[in-house]
Structure 1
Amino acid sequence: MPIRQHRPSTDEFVEDFQDTIVPSAIPSSEFIDWDGIEDEIENYEVQIEAILELQDTSEEEFVEGLADALMEANDTRKWIDFYFEILGERGNKYSALEGVWKFYDIQRAIDSGARETARDLADILQEIGLQYIVNEADVRDHFRGMLVGMESHARKNRQGVCFEELVGEKIGAIADRLNDAGYFVEMDAEYTTEYNDESGQEKTVDFALFEDGDLRLVVEANAYKVGGSKPSEIRRSYNHVAQRMRKDGVAFVWITDGQGWAKSLTNVLRQSYDDITDLYNLHQAETQLPADVERFFETGEV
């Protein structure tokens, strides 16, 4: 059985959950990773200085200068990545109407001494507009701006990291509360446990609580800034996990939040509560989960 003691109707739960949603786990102070951006600029200082030496050169001199730098590089891929990041492209290849340039193949050819490959790549970089940037912009400021633009991708990972940190703080506080109440409780993060059956399958969870060395409760943490199919897929997966954990006498708790759970995901939220029940947003994890967990430790009922 679930550990949740406050069990309103599904409609009441959904209303309370959506009324107390935290839109994003990323605080404004961490919206842009300025320290990381400055570290990235410093990491490419050699490349920046080298490309500045090609300022106000002819097109031919610029292309030959890029080719020379690529041929002389100790870490060819780093130079290739820098050139394309300046142009706003990040990945393993560059694609255009004219064809596809795969960076690993190019790196391997240049490292084997193929200057023609280096020059062909330099031609493409010049054609895209690298020389224009070097001549018309402050390269460091331009690169900084490009990195800020790329932060939207980085924030997808940062959202999850920040949310897990918030959940970890709450689970840690619950562990402290239990220890103060006389239990011997330890918390672990990224814990992998095998199911107590013959399947041989295992599950890695975000957080786990142990009493006297025995696994008692596991927690999964997910935040959704936008809707989509992922929450529904996770719901089905976690419902399966929760059932198997409870058979092993282990409580399963799902803490989730984010503006993705607003009205567009109401039906998924309803199904999640009906199936899993031990479902909490951050506000509910603060106000309801501690007492629920403490009672579970008292009774051992799952």
Structure 2
Amino acid sequence: MKYNSLFSSYLNCSNDSEVFEYFQTTLTDSITVWNYFVDWQKVLKKFADMEIHLNTLNYLIGKDNIEEEFAKLLEISPQIVSVIPILIACRTATFQILTDYESGKFSYKSFNFQRQTSLSPSEIEDILEFTRKTGLLELFAKKTIKSIPDYVLGIEVGLDTNARKNRGGNTMEVILETLIRDICEQNNLLYISQATSEKIKTAWNIDVEVDKSSRRFDFAVRNQENLYLIEANFYGGGGSKLKATAGEYKTLFDFLSKQGHKFIWVTDGLGWKTALRPLEETFRYIDYTLNLNMVIRGLLQELITITD
């Protein structure tokens, strides 16, 4: 960390060791907001796209001769095959099932649930086999599932929880963008979110070489003299990725500094408590590493409004 007199006035820290101590003792334990739990807009959109087919399948609930009834339903409404994968919480439309491995060889059978306008008798038999052997038909016949639409809505909610990790990362960007937007409006600065080298060149005619073609900086801010490239992330839990992330930003800092651009890393979360050594190494190496507490206290504003 490049020590700056700002750290004395804003944080009451007299050297970089004290700044790091302040940083790691003010890490935020949570940035969970209400939409972290379920993205209802996405869930309900997916549900609406298949609701008619689910209601058609609901005809099967409680049927004694369920295979016969299902075969008739498939003849009348072959499009319903497209929703069968979601009944077993899968997004894929094709399956390669290992049907035999005890005879000394592996035997497979393929199943295709892409939407179709008609089904042959053999295709219908395959669908019956799949739903029978995965246990779905028994659940429907015994009324273990009383409403297929309600059942699938529950599956969609469950699958959506897999996206929580991404929403956590997005929340950090949303929070930081709100703060950066305010800073820029107050100081007549310009900023770009998800800034690629092409966006920066188009907007400001500034060349930024990137270390990899997929590089998107979370934010780019321009004042009269400098271009600030900002990366943001939040780690609520530990893991091996933290050490790699810290090392990546040391390399990125060197790469951008050689071009004369400024780099600021805004990171937070108690996950860093499990990786303080690599964090401190990067903290001491690159010019500016901030957490949300430091941003809110005004340090980011001071840094990006400095003119050399």
Give TM-score, length-normalised by structure 1: 0.78
Deviations 1:257-279 (A, max 9, x none): 22322x21212221220222411
Size of the alignment, in residue pairs?
282
Amino acid at match of 1:273: F
C-alpha deviations, 1:158-181, integer Å up to 9, x for none? Answer: 1122211111112112212322xx
* Paired position in structure 2 for 1:267: 277
Distance in 2 separating the partners of 1:260 and 1:171: 24
**CA distances 1:176-196 after superposition (whole Å, capped 9, x unpaired):** 2322xxxxx211111122796
Which of 136, 139, 147 is matched with 2:144 structurally?
A: 136
Specify whether residues 197 and 252 from structure 1 end up closer, same or farther in structure 2 by C-alpha distance, changes over 3 A only: closer
- Going from structure 1 to structure 2, the CA distance change for 1:244 and 1:225 (only over 3 Å counts) comes to same
Where relative contact order (Cα < 8 A, 6+ residues apart) is larger, the structure is 1
Match of 2:29 among 8, 12, 23: 23
SS in 1 for 2:197: strand
Aligned residues: CA RMSD: 3.4
Match of 1:60 among 67, 73, 87: 67
Partner of 2:223: 211
Whether the 8 Å contact between 1:256 and 1:279 is mirrored in structure 2 is yes
Q: Residue in 1 aligned with 2:10?
A: none
**Residue of structure 1 in register with 2:202 after alignment:** none
Give the 3 Å change call, closer, same or farther, for CA 198–125 of structure 1 in structure 2.
closer
Answering whether residue 194 of structure 2 is matched by residue 190 of structure 1, we say yes
Q: Percent identity?
A: 24
Letter in 1 for 2:144: E
- Cα distance in 1 for partners of 2:278, 2:124 equals 52
**Cα deviation, residue 27, structure 1:** 0.7
- The answer for unaligned runs of 5 or more in structure 1 is 180-184
SS where residue 255 of structure 1 aligns?
A: strand
Given the superposition, is the C-alpha separation of residues 259 and 90 from structure 1 closer, same or farther in structure 2, using an over 3 Å criterion? farther
In structure 2, which of residues 185, 188, 208 is the aligned counterpart of residue 176 of structure 1?
185
Aligned partners of 2:89 and 2:210: how far apart in 1?
48
Of 131-140 and 163-172, the range deviating more from structure 2: 131-140
Pairwise CA distance, 1:10? 5.8
Which of these residues, 164, 170, 174, is aligned with residue 165 of structure 1?
A: 174
Q: Which residue identity is paired with 2:296? A: E
Q: CA deviation at 1:205?
A: 0.8
Q: Which amino acid aligns with 2:277?
A: N
In 2, the alpha carbon distance for the partners of 1:154 and 1:15 equals 33
216-225 or 35-44, larger mean C-alpha shift: 35-44
* Contact 1:10–1:270 (Cα < 8 Å) also in 2: no
